[in-house]
Structure 1
Amino acid sequence: MSAPGDEPGRPAGRGVLPDRPVHTARTALTLGAAEVIGKLSMLVLTVGAARVLGVAEFGAFSYALAIGTLAAVVPLWGYDITVIQRASARPERLRELLAGLLAMRTLLAVLVFVIIAGLWGNTSLSGDRGTAAGLLIVAAVLMDTYTEAYRAAAAALQRQRVLALIHLVQRLLTAGLALLALFGHSGLTGLAVAFLVGTSVGPLTAAVLMRRTGFAPDWRSLSTAGLVELNRGTWVIGVASLVLMVLFRVDTLMIAWFSGEREVGIYAAVYRLLETTLFVSFVTARTVFPLMAATPEPQRVRRYSEQGISMMAAVFLPYTVVLWCRGHGVLDLLYGREFADEGTAMLAWLAPAPLLYGVSYLASYAIVAAGPTLRALTSSVLALALNLGLNCVLIPRYGGVAAAFTTSLSYAVYAAALIYLGRARAGLPRLARAVLPATAASAVACGPLLAPWPLVPAVVTAVLVYVPCWLLVTRLVEPHQIQVLRRMLGLGRMA
C-alpha cells in the first residue's frame, strides 16, 4: 500500500512529506530482498549448469539465453515505461492500459518467436546442441515479459511488494526445477523444459493476483484507437531499449561467432557475476521512477537520481573491489579451477561494469521521466557503435578479455552521454558526493582483501570493516540518509 501523500501526481501535504523517503526506502528494501534471493537462486542455477553440463554445452545454453534476451526487447518495446508514466498520472486508466500492453506483448512475442524459429531451423544457430532446447529457452524468456507487464502495473500503483514476491517465487521454482533436471542427467533439453515451466508460473500467478485486487486488464476497453495511442511515442523508448539490450548481449554472440562455444562458456560464467548484481539497478529504478514520472521537474529528478546512485554505489563499489582483489578465488569457489584460470582477466575488466551499468540504467529512466526523447536513443546508439567497433577489432585476437573491456568502457560512455544530453530534463547529479561514502569505505576494505588470508575470512572481515565506515562517512556527508535508514528499519520514531 502507498503511504499517505504518495498518490501519483499529487504532492504530499506538509504533515506526511517526511514519510515519502521512508516509503521509498521500504519499497526498495522489499524489492531488494526479493531480488537478492531471486538472483542468488539463478546464480546457483548457473553454477550448477556450468559444473554439470561442461564448458561447451553451458556455452550453448548461454548462447540461447542471449538470443532470447535480445528477442524479448521487441515485445517489451518501452510499453512498461509508458504504462507507468501514464497510469502514475491517471491511475483510473490502469486497467485499460494494461489490456493494451498485454495485447501488444502477445502479438509481438508470437511474431518474434516465429521469426527466430525459422532462422534457427534454417541456419543452425546453436550448432549441434539442439534446436528444440534453444527454442524452449527463448520461449521462457519471452514468457517472462508478461510478468514484467504486471510488475509495471504494480509500479504505477506504487504497490510493488507482492509482485516482487511473486517474481521471487518464480525464480526459486525455476532454479529448483532446473537443478533437478540437471542432476537427473536430462541434459540441455531437460534444463530448457524446466526453465520454461518454472518461468510460466510468474505471469499466471500475477494475473490471478491483479484480478483479485481489482486491477485486472479491462479487455472491453481494447480498441484500435487505444493501441495506436499506446504506441504513440514508444518507438523512441523501444529502439533505445533494443539498442541497450544489444549492447548488453552482443558480446556473447560475437564471442560465439569469433571464438566458439568454449570461450562463450567461460565468458558467460564470468558475466553471470555481473548479471547477479544488476537487481540493484532494477530495484533502484523501479523505486524512484514512478516518483520521477509523477512530477518530472528537473530538480526533483536530479534529487532522486542522486539518491539512486548513492544506493547503487553502496553495493557496487565494494563488489568491484572484491572482484579486483579476489577474482580468481571467487571463480574457483563457484565454478572450479578451469573457469578461474581462464576467466580471471575477463572478470578484472568486467568488475567496474555493474556500477557503470547502474548509473546508465538510472540515467536512462531519468531522461524519459517527462516523456520520450531522442536524446536517450542518441546516447544508446553512440555506446553501441563504440561497442560493436571495438568488439569487431579486438575479440578475434583477445576473445572474452576484449569483450569484458569493451563492455565496461561502453557503459561508461553511455552513462556520460545520458547525463550530459539529459541535463536540461534531469539536471546534473552530483556524482562525487553520491559515491563518496562508498568510495571511502571501499578503500578501507581493501586491507583485509589484500591480506594473505583465505577467501571467506578476508571477505567477511572486509564487510565488517566496510559497513561502519560507510555509515560514518554517510553520516558526515548526507545525514538524512541515515535517518531514513533508521526509520525504514524501525529503529527510530516514525513521523
Structure 2
Amino acid sequence: MFRNMAYAGVSAASAGLLLILFIAAGRTLGDVEFGKFSFALALGTIFETLMDFGLHQVTIRAVARDRSQATALLHHTLGIKLVWTTGALVALVATATILRSEWDVRLACYLLGGSLVLRSYMLTIRGVLQGLERFGWDSFVVVTDRAILLIVGVAALAAGGGLRSLAMAFVVARGVALALSAWMTHTHLGGLGLRFDRAIWRELQTTALPLGFFLVVLNLYSYVDAVMLGVMRTDVETGLYTAAYRVYEGLSYAPSVIAAVLTPRLSALFVSDRIRHRRLALVGLAGSTALAVAVGTVAYQFATPLMTRLFGEDFAPAAAPFRILCVGLGFVFAIWVLHAIAISVNRERLLLTTGIIGLVVNVGLNFYLIPHQGASGAALATVAGEGVSLVVLVIGLWTHM
C-alpha cells in the first residue's frame, strides 16, 4: 500500500504543474483577463461532473471487487459517457451564453468545456487503473496530461495570444494527452472500445446516480464562488479569489493521496474483514487531520508573501481570502478521507445529502457575503459549508465504522 501511496503522491504533486500554469497566466494576462479565464474554467469544471456522473468512483469500486471485469467495465463506461458528455457540453454552452455577454468570455467557456470532455475520458481510464491498484500507470496518465498542458499553455502565453490562445491550448494539450493514454490502455487493458448492453448500462448508471448527484453538488460547491463573483462583482475580484483558491486547492491535494489509496483497499476490506476496515479508516482519518494542522498553520503565517511571490504584487489582496481558506483546511482534509470511507461502505446517498446541505449553506452565505465582502466573503462561505459538511458526514458514518 505504501508503494501505491507513493505513486498517488506523485499524481497529487503533479498538481503543482497546474499551479505553475495558473501563476504564469496570472502574471501574463493581468488581473482582469485572469479573472475572465478563472470564470470560464470554474463554469466548465462545474459541468465536467455531468460528463461522468459518478461513473469514475463506481468503476474503481467495481474493478477492485472483480478485476476480471476491468476491460468490459472500461468499454461500457466509455459508451455511457458519449451520452453524458454531449448533454453536458450543450448545457455548458447555453449557460455561458446566458451568464456572460462578452464574446471572449463565452468563447473561453466553450473551448475549456471541450477540453474537459477529453479529460473526462481520461478519468475513466484512471478509474480502471485505480481499481486494479496500478497506481504507477495512473500516475503516468496524470503527470503526462498536466505536463503537456503546462508546456502548451505556457507556450501560448509566451506567444502573446491572450485568453483565447490559452483556452485553445487546453483543447490541444488534452487531445494529445488522451491519445497517449489510449496508447497506454491498448498495451495494458486491450485498448479503448465501446460496448452497449442495456442491462449493464442500467446497473452501472443506477449505482452511480446517487454518487453522481453528490459530485455535481460537490463541484458546484467548490466552484460556484468564482462564478458568483464573476456575475455579482468584478473580474478582478474573481481573479484574486481564484488565485487564493487555487493555492488552497493545491494544498488540499495532500489528503487526496490518502483517499485515492484508501478507496480501493477499504472497498475490498468492507466485504472481507470489517475489523481491518474500521482500523484502516480511523488511521487514515487521524493522519489526514494531523497533516491539516501542520499545513494550515504554515500557510496561514506566510499568506501574503506566498500570494505576491507566486502571482505578483497585484495579487497581494488575495492574502485575505487565502487566510480564511486556510482555516478550512482542517475540515477539507478530514472530508477527503470520509468520502473514501463512505464510498467503501456503499453510503453514496449520505454523500449526496452532505453535498446538498453544504451547497445550500455555501450559496446562501455567498448571496449575503459576496456583495458586502467580495472575495473574503466567498472564502467565509466556503469554510462554513465545509464545517457543516464535516459534521453531517461524521454523524452519518458513525454507525458504519
Q: Is the shorter-chain TM-score for this pair beyond 0.5, marking a shared fold?
A: yes
Does the 8 Å CA contact 1:70/1:242 hold for their aligned counterparts? Answer: yes
Say whether residues 1:397 and 2:372 are aligned partners: yes
Shift of 1:52: 0.8
The separation in 1 between residues aligned to 2:77 and 2:368, in whole angstroms, is 40
Q: Deviations over 1:113-156 (max 9, x none)?
A: 122223434x3626343422221112112211111111110111
Shift of 1:298: 5.0
The separation in 1 between residues aligned to 2:323 and 2:372, in whole angstroms, is 18
Instruction: Give the alignment partner of residue 385 of structure 2, picking from 402, 406, 410.
Output: 410
The separation in 1 between residues aligned to 2:16 and 2:343, in whole angstroms, is 31
Cα distance 1:251–1:53, how it changes in 2: closer, same or farther (>3 A)?
Answer: same
Cα distance 1:27–1:33, how it changes in 2: closer, same or farther (>3 A)?
Answer: same
Instruction: Give the alignment partner of residue 87 of structure 2, picking from 94, 99, 111.
Output: 111
Does the 8 Å CA contact 2:10/2:139 hold for their aligned counterparts? Answer: no
Does the 8 Å CA contact 1:71/1:142 hold for their aligned counterparts? Answer: no
Q: Which residue of 2 aligns with 1:129?
A: 104
Shift of 1:198: 1.2
Q: Deviations over 1:178-210 (max 9, x none)?
A: 111111101111111111111223332222212
Q: Which residue of 2 aligns with 1:466?
A: none
Aligned-pair identity (%): 23
Q: Which residue of 2 aligns with 1:234?
A: 208
Amino acid at match of 2:57: I
Say whether residues 1:260 and 2:234 are aligned partners: yes
Q: Which residue of 1 aligns with 2:360?
A: 385
Q: Deviations over 1:31-62 (max 9, x none)?
A: 212321x2111111111111110111101101
Q: Which residue of 2 aligns with 1:34?
A: 11
Q: Which residue of 2 aligns with 1:216?
A: 191
Amino acid at match of 1:244: L
Say whether residues 1:354 and 2:310 are aligned partners: no
Say whether residues 1:322 and 2:312 are aligned partners: no
Question: Superposed, which structure 2 residues align to 1:435-454 within 5 Å?
Answer: none
Say whether residues 1:284 and 2:284 are aligned partners: no
The separation in 2 between residues aligned to 1:103 and 1:355, in whole angstroms, is 39
Say whether residues 1:195 and 2:194 are aligned partners: no
Does the 8 Å CA contact 1:301/1:366 hold for their aligned counterparts? Answer: no
The separation in 2 between residues aligned to 1:307 and 1:381, in whole angstroms, is 28
Amino acid at match of 2:344: A
Moved more, 363-372 or 81-90: 363-372
Q: Deviations over 1:302-346 (max 9, x none)?
A: 323333334434543332112221211111111122211x12211
Taking structure 1 as the reference length, what is the TM-score of the superposition?
A: 0.77
Does the 8 Å CA contact 1:96/1:218 hold for their aligned counterparts? Answer: no
Cα distance 1:129–1:423, how it changes in 2: closer, same or farther (>3 A)?
Answer: same
Does the 8 Å CA contact 2:39/2:226 hold for their aligned counterparts? Answer: yes
Greater percentage in helix = 2
- Runs ≥4 residues deviating over 6 A: none
Does the 8 Å CA contact 2:156/2:166 hold for their aligned counterparts? Answer: yes
Q: Which residue of 1 aligns with 2:247?
A: 273
Q: Deviations over 1:342-363 (max 9, x none)?
A: 1221111011333422211221
Cα distance 1:357–1:169, how it changes in 2: closer, same or farther (>3 A)?
Answer: same
Q: Which secondary structure state, in structure 1, belongs to the residue aligned with residue 344 of structure 2? A: coil
Shift of 1:213: 1.6
The separation in 1 between residues aligned to 2:99 and 2:282, in whole angstroms, is 47
- Aligned length, in residue pairs: 399
The separation in 2 between residues aligned to 1:372 and 1:101, in whole angstroms, is 21
Q: Which residue of 2 aligns with 1:9?
A: none
The separation in 2 between residues aligned to 1:315 and 1:39, in whole angstroms, is 18
Q: Deviations over 1:250-306 (max 9, x none)?
A: 111111121121110111111111121232232221101101111216543332333
Q: Which residue of 2 aligns with 1:166?
A: 141
Q: Deviations over 1:224-260 (max 9, x none)?
A: 1221111122211111111111111111111112112
The separation in 2 between residues aligned to 1:215 and 1:83, in whole angstroms, is 17
Does the 8 Å CA contact 1:163/1:206 hold for their aligned counterparts? Answer: no
The separation in 2 between residues aligned to 1:365 and 1:253, in whole angstroms, is 28
Q: Which residue of 1 aligns with 2:342?
A: 367
Q: Which residue of 2 aligns with 1:60?
A: 36
The separation in 1 between residues aligned to 2:20 and 2:240, in whole angstroms, is 16
Q: Deviations over 1:6-39 (max 9, x none)?
A: xxxxxxxxxxxxxxxxxx1111112212321x21
Shift of 1:218: 5.9
- Structure 1 residues not aligned, in runs of 5+: 1-23, 428-495
Q: Deviations over 1:428-483 (max 9, x none)?
A: xxxxxxxxxxxxxxxxxxxxxxxxxxxxxxxxxxxxxxxxxxxxxxxxxxxxxxxx
The separation in 2 between residues aligned to 1:43 and 1:187, in whole angstroms, is 18
Does the 8 Å CA contact 2:263/2:343 hold for their aligned counterparts? Answer: no
Q: Which secondary structure state, in structure 1, belongs to the residue aligned with residue 350 of structure 2? A: helix
Question: Superposed, which structure 2 residues align to 1:330-345 within 5 Å?
Answer: 330-340=306-316, 342-345=317-320
Q: Which residue of 2 aligns with 1:146?
A: 121
Q: Which residue of 1 aligns with 2:218?
A: 244
Shift of 1:215: 4.3
Question: Superposed, which structure 2 residues align to 1:301-320 within 5 Å?
Answer: 301-313=277-289, 315-320=291-296
The separation in 2 between residues aligned to 1:255 and 1:261, in whole angstroms, is 8
Cα distance 1:290–1:374, how it changes in 2: closer, same or farther (>3 A)?
Answer: same
Does the 8 Å CA contact 1:234/1:372 hold for their aligned counterparts? Answer: no
Moved more, 153-162 or 313-322: 313-322
Cα distance 1:27–1:311, how it changes in 2: closer, same or farther (>3 A)?
Answer: farther
Does the 8 Å CA contact 1:68/1:142 hold for their aligned counterparts? Answer: no
Question: Superposed, which structure 2 residues align to 1:76-115 within 5 Å?
Answer: 76-115=52-91
Amino acid at match of 2:6: L
Taking structure 2 as the reference length, what is the TM-score of the superposition?
A: 0.94
Amino acid at match of 1:232: T
The separation in 1 between residues aligned to 2:192 and 2:345, in whole angstroms, is 25
